[in-house]
Amino acid sequence: MIGAINLARPSAAELLRGMAGPTLIVMLLAMMVLPLPPFVLDMLFTFNIAFSIMVLLVGVSTVKPLDFAVFPTVLLVTTLLRLSLNIASTRVVLLEGHTGPAAAGKVIESFGHFLVGDNYAVGLVVFVIMVVINFVVITKGAGRIAEVGARFTLDAMPGKQMAIDADLNAGLIGEEDARKRRAAIAQEADFFGSMDGASKFVRGDAVAGIIILFINIFGGLVVGVVQHDMDIASAAKVYTLLTIGDGLVAQIPALLVSTAAGLVVSRVSTDQDTGQQLLSQLLARPQALALTGGIVGIMGMVPGMPHIAFLLLAAAFGGIAYAVHQRRSAQTQSESAPGPVPAPETHDVSWSDVTPVDTLGLEVGYRLIPLVDKGQDGELLKRIKAIRRKFAQEIGFLPPAIHIRDNLELRPNGYRITLKGVEIGQHESHAGMLLAINPGRVTAQLPGAATVDPAFGLPAVWVDAGLRDAAHQAGYTVVDAGTVVATHLSQLIHTHAADLLGRQELQQLLDHLSRDTPKLVEDVVPKLLPMATLQQVLQNLLEEGVHIRDMRTIIEVVAAHAGRTQDAGELTALVRVALGRAVVQQIFPGKSELQVIALDPALERLLLQTLQAGAAGSPVIEPELADTLLRGAQSAARQQEQFGFPAVLLVPPALRVLLSRFLRRAIPLLKVLAHSEVPDARSIKVTSVVGSK
């Protein structure tokens, strides 16, 4: 069965609106080719003047330029209309001008008599001056303003886009509002660019008006004298009258439209139109009005001046200043009077007032905005994507997205990294400069601002970009500002990997795993083990720096023992044993022999007794024993570091969790392994012993 396709047909009104534009253009072109009778010319000239007045009034009443976004197109259409009327009227003037001043219609004759009168030279000069004013002053100025406005608008677009993104990330606006504001910014740039181009049409129209004037006068003299046997004086009188009237009815609308263009592009966007701005701002200072009236009055008392005109204007300015002062005084008194107590807000608090906290956030000062601005191809954005990809490859799950925003409360070069709204790191990075890090073997000092590497705490100095080669030769490790922030961010998210594995990330990880082993995941979660317990097991691994890339092994171990125990600590220990090869390989890559720290047998027995004594509750290490253990572990770790070996303490399985929790805060680099976690194929060499005298 073939389904019926319902094609929506446009209505008659829509068809008429769609045909309006093409019909107008065809009519304009037809006016250049087809002869028009005088009555039709009168109607078209009158329409041109009325339409120009309407455009001027709309331009005055606009609040912001985009309220009249079609204005560049209007400029082009009105210019084409004037040129078409010039061609049509020129044809009538040259063909029928010998019959008298009314040959081209009453409008041209009336305007010609009004401007020319009995002196054709004066009329000609006045017309030329009017065209020059339109061409040199109004149109050129409006075009320059549009050009500068277009440049400034384009330069300000990245900052405006950043402000919109910041408001969107902060929850101040919604996605729809952000989309509308971005569209408004793009339309504003397009408007000023179009106005710059459309102004060129108006300037060309003004030049064409002057040229057409002289062509019509010369052509009329030739036609009248040669073809119609008129004397030169009569021909000059008739054709000059018609030519100047024709030019005047064309240039007055051009002057009005050009003035409207200048008003639209030169206004500053506020919530008032041009008339309201003039009244509110010019009359806002009665002192200026009173001073103006006083100066004009003094000038009116100078001998030889027109006293009546100056003194009348001085009195008018003084009266306006007094009225404005009285009105402002009344407003001040009414504002100072106690008003009614405002009614309390009636709207209720809703869940929309609660804004979620970003899991990972990066806040930057305003000088670091170029590093994270898409419009300026911010290098830090690419580095952050690489950091998340590397984290996922090394740790085993995709971390949450990092929300970036600017923060004016920070120092200009400062940045802050937050985890669930809490600061976990902050430092400064200087865009355009380089950070020279001292790894401990530099041969010379560099001039610059001393600091420390935020990721690893090494001494460093901020230097100019031109000192890169000198820093390399002196033994420094040189990185740019974006790398400093990226490295610090990478180090912190690796450190807080356990906090980043939330319920949502775990669900995404299981969904990813179920694509290859769907049955394995379905049998374990949530049938054998709650998701919260599995999350705790994975977080325990991440807290001790064990990656969870081998999720298949983890799930299999949990599935094998979940029926016997649901304790996350016991399951973590079992998983660590199963991941023993990966754990050891992560600490000792590519080595067959493990250089480790061991416990003195006496200290080991004492700790086992402490663990057994606290079996009923949490085991507590006596202060003296804890101090001895801590100092011994710190000394052994430093010795391992001097030998170039990783700091690894090898203990019995029963002590691993206790010692790992106790030593983790004091010695972050120390790893605690159980004997059961070391593969049989790896040999062990004890390089130092904790607790021996």
Q: Determine the pLDDT at residue 96.
A: 72
- Same structural domain for residues 517 and 604? no
Predicted TM-score (pTM) above 0.85: no
Q: Does residue 16 sit within a domain?
A: no
Domain count, the chain: 5
Find out whether the peptide bond into 526 is cis, omega within 30 degrees of 0.
yes
Can you state the angle between helices 531-543 and 568-578, rounded to 10 degrees?
Answer: 60
Domain match, 509 and 458 both: no
Whether 209 and 105 map to the same domain: the answer is yes
The pLDDT of 282-287, averaged and rounded, is: 68
Indicate whether 489 and 505 sit together in one domain.
Answer: no
Q: Residue 105 — left, alpha, or beta (φ > 0 → left; ψ -120 to 50 → alpha)?
A: left
CA dihedral sign, ordered 585, 590, 593, 598 = negative
Provide the 3-class DSSP secondary structure of residue 46: helix
CA–CA gap between residue 583 and residue 682 (Å, rounded) = 12
The enclosing domain of 655 has a CATH number of 3.40.50.12790
Inter-CA distances, 535 with 358, 372, 392, 496, Å: 20, 33, 17, 15
| 83-96 residue pLDDT tens | 787 777 777 777 77
Residue 111 within a domain: yes
pLDDT band at 16 (very low <50, low <70, confident <90, very high): low
Q: Are residue 62 and residue 108 in the same domain, yes or no? A: yes
103 and 250 share one domain: yes
Three-state secondary structure call for residue 666:
coil
Which pLDDT band holds residue 52 (cuts at 50, 70, 90)?
confident
| Shared domain check, 310 and 407 | no
Q: Are residues 615 and 690 in the same domain?
A: yes
Q: Is 179 helix (H, G, I), strand (E, B) or coil?
A: helix
Mark whether 366 and 459 lie in a shared domain: yes
Between 268 and 396, whose confidence is greater?
Answer: 396
- 553: domain range? 501-578
Residue 474 belongs to a domain = yes
Nearest alpha-carbon partner for 527 in 498, 553, 566: 566
Same domain, 519 and 636: no
More confident residue, 468 or 85: 468
- At residue 283, the pLDDT reads 64
Tokens of 509: 């990880």
Q: Is residue 33 part of a domain?
A: no
502 pLDDT more than 70? yes
- Between these two residues, 467 and 198, which has the higher pLDDT value? 467
Is pLDDT of 163 > 70?
no
Cα–Cα distance, 197 to 137 (Å, whole number) = 17
Residue 42 lies in a domain: no
Are residues 250 and 215 located together in one domain of the fold?
yes
Q: Is the pLDDT of residue 226 over 70?
A: yes
Cβ atoms of 391 and 493 closer than 8 Å: yes
Looking up tokens 């379905």, which residue turns up? 522
Contacts of 391 (CB under 8 A, 6+ apart): 398, 399, 490, 493, 494, 497
In this structure, what CATH number is given to the domain that contains residue 536? 1.10.8.540
Burial class (CB in 10 A: 0-12, 13-18, 19+), 162: buried
One DSSP character per residue, 616-661 reads SS-----HHHHHHHHHHHHHHHHHHHHHT---EEEE-HHHHHHHHH
Average pLDDT, the chain: 79
Q: Is residue 187 in some structural domain?
A: no
Q: Is 545 left (phi over 0), alpha (psi -120 to 50) or beta?
A: left
Domain presence at residue 182: no
Q: Does residue 6 belong to any structural domain of this protein?
A: no
Residues 253, 111 share a domain: yes
* Residue 23 pLDDT greater than 70, yes or no: yes
Last residue of a domain, one of 259, 292, 322: 322
Chosen domain end from 578, 612, 628: 578
